[in-house]
Amino acid sequence: MNGDEACCEGALAVGCRFFAGYPITPATEVAERMSRRLPEVGGVYIQMEDELASMAAILGASWGGVKSMTSTSGPGFSLMMENIGLGVCTETPCVVCNVQRAGPSTGLPTLVAQGDMMQARWGAHGHYEIIAVAPSSPQEMFDFTIWAFNLSEQYRLPVLIMADEVVGHMNERVTIPTEDKIEIIERRKTKASYDDYLPYRADADWIAPMANCAEGYHPHITGLTHDERGYPVMDAATQEKMITRLVRKIRDNSDKIIRYDEMFMDDAEVAVVAYGISVRSAKGAVRAARSKGVKAGLIKLDTVWPFPEKLIRGVAPKVRGMIMPEINFGQMVLELERCAGGACKVKLVPHAGGAIISPKTILGAIEDMIKEAK
Amino acid sequence: MSPQKAKMTVPPHPMDAMLRTDRIPHIWCSGCGIGTSFGCVMAAIQKSGYPLEKVAMVSGIGCTGRMAGYIKLDSYHTTHGRAVPFATGLKIARPDVAVLVVSGDGDLLAIGGNHFIHAARRNIDITVVCVNNLNYGMTGGQQAPSTPFGAKTTTSTIGCPEEPFNFCHLAAACGATYVARWTSLHIRRLTNSITEAMQKRGFSFVEILAPCPTSFGRRNKMGNALKTLKFYHERSVVRNDIDPKEATLDFNSNIVVGKFVDIERPTFLDCYSLVNKKQLGDWPNLGEKTPQSEK
């Protein structure tokens, strides 16, 4: 099956029972399959009037206690930003899959890009932390969708699946494990009595247990700056407390959130750091370099936000240089440079979008870096 | 001997049980019509027969949106204009819960207009109460899709150059199953309408004309709230069951109020389950049909 379809199946496997969406290339196949599959498992698919509404509807459904998601691409992702912000502020578990295409604006609807990486990080106004994962194959579209739901339930926020057109439309074998092999994490529920319950009183790990609609707790939930009671309080002290918690619940748990993979990194002199579809090109390039006797390795970022800062700070002094191929003119590479902190060279292999980066281009960059370092 | 301190006792409000009393005083200006509208909403919730844990309130941004912050129910204060789609998701997730949207005219029908018409078309089983104060009150009184032609606001200081919506006509045209309009002076009829709307299956809509003396009234020489209410009282004409197209708001002559629509129509979830039973025939029916001549 293709990546979009695998995303749908992953969502169903982890218990998603509500999907609100709007057609958009190249994410439409997620919605199409959802519309067919959800009624079969007792869920509901609704096609909303726009992406503003899709995002608002999945937040509502999540408060109703139903795991919910939407999928989109660039223009729709822009519209969703408003209510992604509401989801962050109100700490609402849900999943948004962005099958990236080239922009800005309508751009190249049918062709690949990785240009929304910083929008994923900062697209909604205000300061917050977000979780985003980047699948590089249909199998990972399935696996990472399950993982994204688990992260969203655990850390109570919208989790973004930053896929792309090629991963979404590529057909590969997808293994769907049996039910008992799928780890499912549910939101932490409150054990407080009705009188003692405070909707935003967090446990030691900064995460506040949740009360769904109609459970008798009568929480007030607002996108205004709020205190532990969920009540709006318009002052700097409450803002400081709320933002600190929204930020620290991700930062302090980042070791548990971040996943990555390595290939040939033991003796690597050049590390190619890649995410999403560019991992596939990078793999080819690193293998080709090794066959030429060049000591190249690959770091594959499964989590892109929060950025694996600790990992990069550890690797940077051990290599001569790091290369990041990405289908934009430099987004995640800014983070890579920051975390490398001058301990090694960092080079971008850019692409404006419309096609994937060829392994040859990355191989060229690896060889150039070896030469420059000598 | 020390003089005994006089204890100040605040008499309980009849709606205290439904209020987050620790959040009072509220933010609404004196003379604002939202207070009485809110009272009617709470009375209607009590009359509707729903247990309170099975009622949820969803609101957007604006003065009316703040109702959700004062009511002691599951209450969701969302983004500007998005209360209806949020409520759509909530209702589909919890069909057993009565979902009530409270919204101002700008929130519901300017920034949220598209959501409103589609929720009515789909017949999402929610109740929408719109407090129409003819302007954006919270931001200080700007022109809204409800501002009458010629009325003054901070962004139409000479006079509003646009025609307003007839909200009730719009709701009915989009498929609402229940449509009514009252002013915030029609306490009893308004409470009854909201109660009926909550008990109605499908998308039900109640518009409340309410004074905004601070932002709107004062720029249009309407005087204080009492004077505005007197104005409403003198010009309101109850015309139940008329075509909502005729239910115009001509402030120079008549303010038409009443219950305009009360019909049955299958809800979104009714239709969804019907379609998914796969017992419907193909669309369209391709059977033989003789063309009819023009009349």
Q: What is the pLDDT of residues B145-186, one digit of tens each?
A: 999 999 999 999 999 999 999 999 999 999 999 999 999 999
Q: How far apart are CA A368 and CA B9, in angstroms?
A: 82
For B82, the closest of A56, A224, A232 (CB atoms) is: A56
**Which positions in chain B touch A38 (Cβ < 8 Å)?**
none
Q: Report the chain A residue with the minimal C-alpha distance to residue B268.
A: A46
Cβ of B97 and A214 within 8 Å?
A: yes
What's the confidence (pLDDT) of residue B4?
58
Single-letter code of the amino acid located at A53 = A
Q: In chain A, which residue's Cα lies nearest the Cα of B23?
A: A231
Angle between helices B167-174 and B113-122 (to 10 degrees): 40
Query: Which string of b and e fits A191-204 if b means at least 16 CB within 10 Å?
Result: eeeeeebbbbebee
- Cβ pair B74:A218 closer than 8 A: yes
Residue B22 is assigned to a structural domain of this protein: no
Q: What is the CATH number of the domain that holds B220?
A: 3.40.50.970
A197 touches chain B (CB under 8 A): no
Q: For residue B2, give both structure tokens.
A: 């020390």
Q: Does A213 touch chain B (CB under 8 A)?
A: yes
DSSP assignments along A139-189, one per residue: HHHHHHHHHHHHHHHHHTSEEEEEEEHHHHH-B-------GGGS---PPPB
For chain A, which domains are there?
Answer: 3-181 (3.40.50.970), 261-373 (3.40.50.920)
**For residue B176, is it within any domain?**
yes
Q: How many domains does chain B have?
A: 1
Main-chain phi, psi angles of A190, to 5 degrees = -75, 145
Best interface-test mutation with B: which of A41, A63, A84 has the largest number of B CBs within 10 A?
Answer: A63
The answer to whether the Cβ–Cβ distance between B97 and A213 falls below 8 Å is yes
Low-confidence ranges of chain A (pLDDT < 50): none
B174 contacts B165 by C-beta, under 8 angstroms: no
**Nearest CA to CA, how far is B3 from chain A (Å)?**
38
Nearest to B155 by CA among B147, B166, B163: B147
From chain A, the residues in CB contact with B111 under 8 A are none
Low-confidence ranges of chain B (pLDDT < 70): 1-8
Number of H helices, E strands in chain A: 13, 14
B223: region left, alpha or beta (phi > 0 left; psi from -120 to 50 alpha):
left
Q: Answer yes or no: do B93 and A18 touch at CB < 8 A.
A: yes
pLDDT for the residue numbered B7: 64
Nearest CA to B57 out of A222, A156, A94 is that of A222
A100 contacts A161 by C-beta, under 8 angstroms: no
pLDDT at A115: 98
Cβ-based interface (< 8 Å): residues of B facing A:
20, 22-23, 52-54, 56, 58, 68-69, 72-79, 81-82, 85-94, 96-97, 114-115, 118, 122, 268-269, 272, 276
Q: What is the pLDDT of residue B1?
A: 47
* Pairing, β A158-164 against β A94-102: parallel
DSSP A308-349: -HHHHHHHGGGSSEEEEEESSSSSHHHHHHHHHTTSSEEEEE
Q: Closest Cα partner for A21 from A11, A7, A35, A38?
A: A35
pLDDT at B75: 98
Domain coverage including residue B140: 32-276
pLDDT given at position B121: 98
Q: Is residue B89 part of a domain?
A: yes
Instruction: Answer whether residue B23 is part of any domain.
Output: no
Burial class for B96, CB neighbours closer than 10 Å (0-12, 13-18, 19+): exposed
Contact A61 B68 (CB under 8 A): no
B251, part of any domain: yes
Report if residue B222 sits inside a domain: yes
| CB-closest option in B52, B58, B93 to A65 | B93
Q: Does A215 touch chain B (CB under 8 A)?
A: yes
d(CA A229, CA A220): 8
Q: Is B227 a domain residue? A: yes
Q: Do B75 and A220 touch (CB under 8 A)?
A: yes
For residue B6, the model assigns a pLDDT of 61
- Is B19 part of a structural domain of the chain? no
Contact B94 A219 (CB under 8 A): no
Distance of CA A118 to the CA centre of its chain: 11
